[in-house]
A and B are shown apart, each in its own frame.
Chain A
């Protein structure tokens, strides 16, 4: 489990001055496109007539989007975590302008862009002093908090025949039915289980899809983005032979890519997916590795949705702590944390099973259990904590943070990157508490040590185009069951979070 702002700053590399031009273009495009909204028409002829006129020009465009402001306060507590907190702001402001533009080219092709411009800043930082106490430190530059551009989606789709679709560009493709989490999603930036609507960013892919009435066959190729600037990649699949101007050397000369094939079937009122993935150093250490998966989703007894999503892999791409290093042996930092089970030949399934139902009062309950076969055992978790502690003492903590996550994505409130094996995700929302008010809560519980997080929320649709929301985020440190003691401190997985609580206020205006 890892907070988002721990992301690798190198991959983002945005600069404030670069935002100016896209920003101007964004607002100019917005002003130009707003009068052309499609919903002004009151008859099918008007809609189709408009289309026909524009078909004469071969091009028509529609735009919508939102402006979003998020302001949050987190009580950063460096004394409760083994992770560094010096770049974690207590106060954070994130301002996002989003445009979703669809340009139809004739009847069979379109270009789609879902782009966000993000300004963000943070203040009020805390760290440990020499005595291990919480101390305020000066505001400072944090690369991950600079303004940047997120092209969440940017692709061309061509459908020459009703049964054939080509797509090239950046797109979020999710095949599994998991609500809060998708173990078979090896492609996209992870979503935020406390708000599954939040993460919109996809990955760069080339896809061929053959949709038929009862089944669909899809195959895609995804080259990994290795370097990008302002959300636009400038190195994909293979690192350039030369170093970057900031001195970053190419870490390898491998090809980083993923191939996927998927068969979807609608059988007996059930959505069934079968997946095959072949990847080489795509977001993890697997080389020329095959993975398999499957899923189903169906309603039972009219109102109860049940789904299962599973991924099967031989070996694990996770980073595991070196036992000798953790227990005081001689250790070089690069060997402390490695993909030591990458080729052990063991089968490590990742399985999510869950259900969802809506009650008569329109409240919605979702319950999911997630099993991660390659999660840390008790000993491995203890070694992980010991290594963190050693690294913290040596000032090397950043080296021990698991690599991964994706750049070019919206900064999230929370990323689910589980360390252990058993998890429960429970979410409940009840709309119309008072017409426009919705309350909700999401509980993520690690079942091994009974720690977790709870995220209550209240949303108010103040106007048809304006939603105001208040989110809480409270780590549950766990009861003393399954905790691990390191240097006389009991730790559970979610006690590693660097904050005692967080409150976030969000205002989102749609257009």
Chain B
């Protein structure tokens, strides 16, 4: 009887190895997973950002983002009318914004605010945490979540430190806190509404709260997303902006 029970137990353990014996992924694996979920190597996405302001009014921006390789991304703004025609381009550590009124592009810093909302430019144009941050896995205090402690390894990284929580089951991001070098909490984000976009699962909505201005927050919603686009390299050239 005992032998039979032990055999069944052994079979059961063999049948569910991941539940019983799987080690936690390394911080680097989790970071790679985050980059893949939030910013696949190549994608074409349509997004809306709603910025909620101090006076309870909102501003809505609709834009298309096209990414190629790990470090090239270009956006086109459709809304509001005052921003229509604006474009942004990131190539490596370089960012530019094309202003239709100026009829030219200007260089941007990665930490500048993205369209005056609560995301900064790097939050949208530079999601490459593997390249930008060192990660440590620390206790999250919640069995369902991993907690990564990220510290910037380049000056171009958007933040000096990030705390990033990921769900263990689907390995999707849950929330994040973004800190200045002084340790001051600048922003916090909540990742919600995981959707399947043409076979790619990711949170469709990110709510970024400005912790320095209590009533301000911005919501970024992914309306559509396609992966594995074939885009000519010239789409990511400064002189192509405005065309």
Interface on A for B, CB 8 Å cutoff?
A: 38-39, 41-45, 47, 64, 66, 100, 153, 157, 159, 162-163, 165, 171-172, 174, 177, 179, 196-198, 200, 202, 209, 211-213, 216, 218, 264, 266, 269, 271, 297-299, 301-303, 305, 357-358, 362, 431-432, 434-436, 461, 464-465, 467, 510-511
Is the pair B44, A212 in contact by a Cβ cutoff of 8 Å? no
Given A39-B79, A42-B224, A218-B239; A297-B107 close (CB under 8 Å): yes
Closest to B48 in A: A42
Tell whether B54 is near chain A: CB-to-CB under 8 Å.
Answer: yes
Is the pair A64, B80 in contact by a Cβ cutoff of 8 Å? no
Determine the distance from Cα of A211 to Cα of B232 in the docked complex, in whole angstroms: 11
Is the pair A211, B116 in contact by a Cβ cutoff of 8 Å? no
Report the minimum CB–CB distance from A226 to chain B (whole Å): 24
Which of B46, B60, B102, B104 lies in contact with A43, CB distance below 8 A? B46
Report the minimum CB–CB distance from A214 to chain B (whole Å): 9
Is the pair A362, B102 in contact by a Cβ cutoff of 8 Å? no
Which of A153, A165, A213 lies in contact with B103, CB distance below 8 A? A153
Which of A64, A174, A269 lies in contact with B92, CB distance below 8 A? A269
Is the pair A211, B84 in contact by a Cβ cutoff of 8 Å? no
Given A212-B237, A269-B92, A435-B53; A302-B243 close (CB under 8 Å): no
Tell whether B140 is near chain A: CB-to-CB under 8 Å.
Answer: no
Is the pair B237, A211 in contact by a Cβ cutoff of 8 Å? yes
Is the pair A200, B80 in contact by a Cβ cutoff of 8 Å? no
Determine the distance from Cα of A179 to Cα of B108 in the docked complex, in whole angstroms: 13
Which of A197, A357, A510 lies in contact with B80, CB distance below 8 A? A510
Give per-residue flags for B121-133: 1 if the beta carbon is below 8 A from chain A beta carbons, else 0.
0000000000000
Is the pair A64, B94 in contact by a Cβ cutoff of 8 Å? no
Closest to A215 in B: B237
Give per-residue flags for B144-170: 1 if the beta carbon is below 8 A from chain A beta carbons, else 0.
000000000001100000000000000
Residues of A within 8 A of B240 (CB): 211
24 pairs, A vs B, C-beta closer than 8 Å? A39-B84, A44-B225, A47-B64, A64-B85, A66-B81, A162-B232, A162-B234, A165-B243, A200-B103, A202-B103, A211-B240, A213-B233, A213-B237, A264-B239, A266-B238, A299-B93, A302-B110, A302-B155, A302-B156, A362-B112, A362-B116, A435-B53, A436-B55, A464-B80
Determine the distance from Cα of A106 to Cα of B73 in the docked complex, in whole angstroms: 24
Determine the distance from Cα of A211 to Cα of B103 in the docked complex, in whole angstroms: 18
